[in-house]
Amino acid sequence: MKKVLIVSYSQTGQLSEVTSSLSDPLRCKEIEIHHKIIKPKKEYPFPWSFFEFMDCFPESVYLDPCEIEEIEDSNDYDLVIISYQVWFLSPSIPITSFLKSKFAKEKLKDKPVITVIACRNMWVMAQEKMKSLLSDVNAKLIDNIVLIDQGSSLATFITTPRWMLTGRRNAFWKIFPKAGVDEKEIKNAARFGFAIKEALENNLEKEQVSICSGLKAVNVDEKLIKSEQIGTKSFMIWGKLIRKIGKAGELKRRPFIALYTVFLILIIMTVVPINMIVQTIIRKVNKEKILKQKAFYEMPSGNDDFRMKDFAKNE
């Protein structure tokens, strides 16, 4: 009997749907699944209010944990799957809190881990932080699976905040699609479950190498890498300042959060378009370097599709 630990935290329910689709093929008599949903002692709201949302960014980027309900479990696991949201180019605070817990240090040590992300389109820097958090508990990342929102960057720049701040995710005005990951993509995430099941049946998880390669697990949009790096630096600088001013939730942080929001909007409207033009030129000049960078961030699962036909019957 193989034992799989699934750890997740979802506000909207979308990540729960992704996790369910991926894990359903594992539900058989040979595999025992234990799903632990992270529960912060102080719930994060959904929909968010504007200030509640922006007030989270300093602690998100600096990986400050919140208090979470204690997890009790005496099992020893063969594989761990961590499903997480991206907050401000970082893992969500509840997931960071889990990875900094005593439970994670005990249960994840020397274990193969698969991370699963459902987000808008910028997740690379969050996964780099995730790698660091997993390294801190001596876990081994063997796969990363990423599902991104449907629609262009411009469309999701409108639809995603609308969903977060109002709870409405429907398509509108004929030009804006439904917010979130396409339902077909969520359904097709089952292919990873079938691949994981096959790997567990053959003890491949013990080799601690990718078991979801060849299934188009992840695709890095190289046009966004530099924007993520710049955004992370900005979050770190302003986050450091706001953390010094006060603790999360304190009213004295609000004027500085509002100021940073105005600054961020101005940057998005002016500097980002110019940077995108510059980066387009740089990518053409340094094409080989950019492709190597893309391949690095797509590890360990990669963007190849050579095994898709093996699992097409299961989709």
Q: What is the pLDDT of residues 161-218, one digit of tens each?
A: 999 999 999 999 989 999 999 999 999 999 999 999 999 999 999 999 999 999 999 9
The lowest-confidence range among 102-111, 121-130, 257-266, 296-305 is 257-266
In whole angstroms, give the CA distance from residue 58 to residue 64. 8
DSSP letters, 198-253, are HHHHTTGGGGTS-SSTTS------GGGHHHHHHHHHHHHHHHHHHHHH--TT-GGG
As a three-state string, the secondary structure of 22-73 is HHHHHCECCEEEEEEECCECCCCCCCCCHHHHHCCHHHHHCCCCCCECCCCC
pLDDT at 280: 83
Instruction: Give the C-alpha distances (Å, rounded to integers) separating 260 from 118, 159, 188, 264, 275.
Output: 26, 22, 39, 6, 20
Q: Quick one: which of 148, 305, 311 has its CA closest to 213? A: 305
pLDDT bin (cut points 50, 70, 90) of residue 278 is confident
The lowest-confidence range among 57-61, 79-83, 308-312 is 308-312
Q: Residue 157: is its pLDDT beyond 80? A: yes
pLDDT at 313: 54
Regarding beta strands 90-91 and 86-87, do their DSSP bridges make them parallel or antiparallel, or are they unpaired?
Answer: antiparallel
Q: What is the pTM (predicted TM-score) of this model?
A: 0.94
Peptide bond into 112 cis (omega under 30): no
Helix (H) or strand (E) holding 118: strand 112-119
pLDDT at 315: 46
Q: Residue 35: is its pLDDT beyond 90? A: yes
Tell me the mean pLDDT in the region 256-261: 95
Regarding beta strands 112-119 and 86-87, do their DSSP bridges make them parallel or antiparallel, or are they unpaired?
Answer: unpaired
Instruction: Give the C-alpha distances (Å, rounded to integers) separating 104 from 35, 89, 190, 295.
Output: 14, 22, 26, 29
What is the identity of the amino acid at 297? Y
Q: What is the pLDDT of residues 93-150, one digit of tens each?
A: 999 999 999 999 999 999 999 999 999 999 999 999 999 999 999 999 999 999 999 9
Two tokens, residue 169 = 């995710």
pLDDT at 282: 84
